[in-house]
Chains A and B, each alone.
Chain A
């Protein structure tokens, strides 16, 4: 990065944060602070929902997923449009009808105080954990490749988001997310166009897509029923539906984005905006990764894409082994390039005899280079058992730094940080709100009538969670695949929380005590499944299924317990 990149980065990031804080500095009404402006329209709500979900990991890790495993990860989002329709039709009208600040306030009205506290507690636990990952994930990657200090990167981005989120609450979050998403869309489209322009002459999008497809990177939909496969149409539809329903319907960081606004219509249209755009957006980011894979077929490709990690260990007694692997990779890469060109030639001439043989030779060459990359990972582990052996998160950032012109580099780094700030601010806002409304006001009911005191408390709790996230990011180590780490944490808790809400919405005869103990038991079951998965291979299932199992266990156990523990029930409907 040069001075121009730094100017682009600092002006956009600090400018947006300062604008958000300044514009909302007089926010002192609790409704506005917790729900945002009463005049917010659907476009702002839609972008805010999207920005809260799309963290920096989306733009760092997902191109890496496309590069390494292809675009099949898009299936993870197949349940999302269906979930959003259910949220629009069932959840949102009830939240607005009751005028609640948090989703868990609804549980208190529908069941009882202990169930509300359980829902709020599970949210604070899982979102508090994920908040650390949200701030750590971009910081570790940016610090590694740009040579920044990790602690200062975490503290700098953390403090920036705390300042404007605490100052303006939900209104500042929506306002800044709109500008941040503008930077993100602008930057990603620019990167995509530059990547297409840098592909070899004459190849174009179609040629590149054919190479990616032949190498198995463009298998978007997998109809397989094999439960061992992590991403299929079925895991996406069913596991993804439950994950999305839980996330959008019961996670306060999302609920808070759409329960405000001028009218119910605005929240509904904002959610439908996401239902339409989310899959095409994720597909585009994954496709970018698959095209990066093709790009590196015609460039000198490193044997390991986290070059800083590689260089750190390519010294001393390891130097000879590491340099031998680099040379072997370069030689095999050249052979692969030749095989790809042979295949393109055979395909171009529609040579039915030569094409299958040329394709087989190309795939064999690809397998050979993958084998060398495996050897490189083994060598890294041998040199340092704690070495980070997953390098796919570094592919896109490496492309940005090596291939993009100055100024655009600053813009793309701004994309990553804008995404981190956008999702982080939504999370902090929700954590602060839930702590204020569901815990603080619950234990200090007399304070509920003092609006100024409530706003002050919400600001303090928002700041508190911001510092907890910074501390967690500074002192905790995380799983290497960051986006999966967040999804796994979410899946462990989301199913049970969703089960509580489904019982609340659809099983009107079930009372608070039954659902409370059912939820505790179901959560224990999910913990057991997760912790015992290595000991009992039969339990080693895709984490997306935790959503379905947790939810189903909670609902079924609630029904069973209700027959034994008859309790008070409440009817709350949308109409």
Chain B
């Protein structure tokens, strides 16, 4: 069974995000984490506002 040329493919793919404003995957992860923290904070505020 032919498998893709894994090493070349992996090296090429590792850091390219193709997302404007996010040059590295690390930045995307930080953004997703920050969004999660914001969502939890908003949910907490939502609970308190309507309590």
Q: Which residues of A contact B46 (CB under 8 A)?
A: 218, 220
**CB contact between A221 and one of B28, B29, B36, B47 (< 8 Å): that residue:** B47
CA of A146 to CA of B13 in the docked complex: distance in angstroms? 51
- A336 CB to closest chain B CB, in angstroms? 19
Given contacts A30-B1, A213-B51, A214-B51, contact A220 B44 (CB under 8 A): yes
- A32 CB to closest chain B CB, in angstroms? 13
- B31 CB to closest chain A CB, in angstroms? 9
- A109 CB to closest chain B CB, in angstroms? 11
CA of A275 to CA of B6 in the docked complex: distance in angstroms? 27
Q: Which residues of A contact B50 (CB under 8 A)?
A: 209-210, 212-214, 218
Asked if A88 and B25 make an inter-chain contact with CB atoms under 8 angstroms apart, the answer reads: yes
Asked if A220 and B14 make an inter-chain contact with CB atoms under 8 angstroms apart, the answer reads: no
Name the residue of chain A whose CB is nearest to the CB of B13: A264
Q: Which residues of A contact B44 (CB under 8 A)?
A: 220-221
**CB contact between B33 and one of A85, A233, A280 (< 8 Å): that residue:** A85
Counting chain B CB atoms within 10 Å of each CB, the highest count among A96, A214, A221, A268 belongs to: A221
Asked if B32 and A448 make an inter-chain contact with CB atoms under 8 angstroms apart, the answer reads: no
Interface stretch of the complex, out of A74-82, A120-128, A147-155, A381-389: A74-82
Chain B CB within 8 A of A480 CB: no
Q: Which residues of A contact B17 (CB under 8 A)?
A: 265, 268-269
Q: Which residues of A contact B9 (CB under 8 A)?
A: 96-97, 263-264
Q: Which residues of A contact B51 (CB under 8 A)?
A: 213-214, 218-219
Q: Which residues of B contact A30 (CB under 8 A)?
A: 1
Q: Which residues of B contact A221 (CB under 8 A)?
A: 40, 43-44, 47
CA of A30 to CA of B16 in the docked complex: distance in angstroms? 28
Asked if A93 and B14 make an inter-chain contact with CB atoms under 8 angstroms apart, the answer reads: yes
Q: How many A-B residue pairs have CB under 8 A?
A: 90
Name the residue of chain B whose CB is nearest to the CB of A79: B36
**CB contact between B36 and one of A263, A268, A279, A574 (< 8 Å): that residue:** A279
Asked if B10 and A272 make an inter-chain contact with CB atoms under 8 angstroms apart, the answer reads: no
Name the residue of chain B whose CB is nearest to the CB of A290: B50
Name the residue of chain B whose CB is nearest to the CB of A100: B3
Interface range on chain A (Cβ under 8 Å from partner): 35 or more
- A371 CB to closest chain B CB, in angstroms? 24
Q: Which residues of A contact B29 (CB under 8 A)?
A: 85, 88-89
Q: Which residues of B contact A156 (CB under 8 A)?
A: none
Chain B CB within 8 A of A26 CB: no
Given contacts A213-B50, A275-B36, contact A96 B1 (CB under 8 A): no
Given contacts A85-B29, A93-B10, contact A218 B47 (CB under 8 A): yes
Chain B CB within 8 A of A99 CB: yes
CA of A97 to CA of B11 in the docked complex: distance in angstroms? 9
Asked if A448 and B6 make an inter-chain contact with CB atoms under 8 angstroms apart, the answer reads: no
Chain B CB within 8 A of A451 CB: yes
> How does the 8 Å CB contact mask read for B34-51 relative to A, with 1 for contact and 0 for none?
011001100110110111
Asked if B14 and A275 make an inter-chain contact with CB atoms under 8 angstroms apart, the answer reads: no
CA of A213 to CA of B43 in the docked complex: distance in angstroms? 13
Name the residue of chain B whose CB is nearest to the CB of A211: B50
Q: Which residues of B contact A213 (CB under 8 A)?
A: 47, 49-51
Asked if A220 and B47 make an inter-chain contact with CB atoms under 8 angstroms apart, the answer reads: yes
Q: Which residues of A contact B49 (CB under 8 A)?
A: 213
Asked if B36 and A81 make an inter-chain contact with CB atoms under 8 angstroms apart, the answer reads: yes
CA of A574 to CA of B13 in the docked complex: distance in angstroms? 11
Chain A CB within 8 A of B4 CB: yes
CA of A66 to CA of B6 in the docked complex: distance in angstroms? 46
CA of A210 to CA of B17 in the docked complex: distance in angstroms? 43
CA of A326 to CA of B35 in the docked complex: distance in angstroms? 47
Given contacts A89-B25, A221-B44, A264-B14, contact A99 B4 (CB under 8 A): yes
Known: A85-B32, A97-B7, A265-B13; 18 extra A-B contacts, CB below 8 A, are A30-B1, A88-B25, A89-B29, A97-B10, A98-B3, A209-B50, A212-B50, A213-B47, A221-B47, A233-B40, A263-B9, A264-B9, A264-B10, A264-B13, A265-B18, A272-B28, A448-B1, A575-B14
A residues near B (Cβ < 8 Å) are 30, 74, 78, 81-82, 84-85, 88-89, 93, 96-99, 209-210, 212-214, 218-221, 233, 263-265, 268-269, 272, 275-276, 279-280, 283, 448-449, 451, 574-575
B residues near A (Cβ < 8 Å) are 1, 3-4, 6-7, 9-10, 13-14, 16-19, 25, 28-29, 32-33, 35-36, 39-40, 43-44, 46-47, 49-51
5 A-B contact pairs sorted by A residue (CB < 8 Å): A89-B29, A96-B6, A99-B3, A221-B43, A269-B19
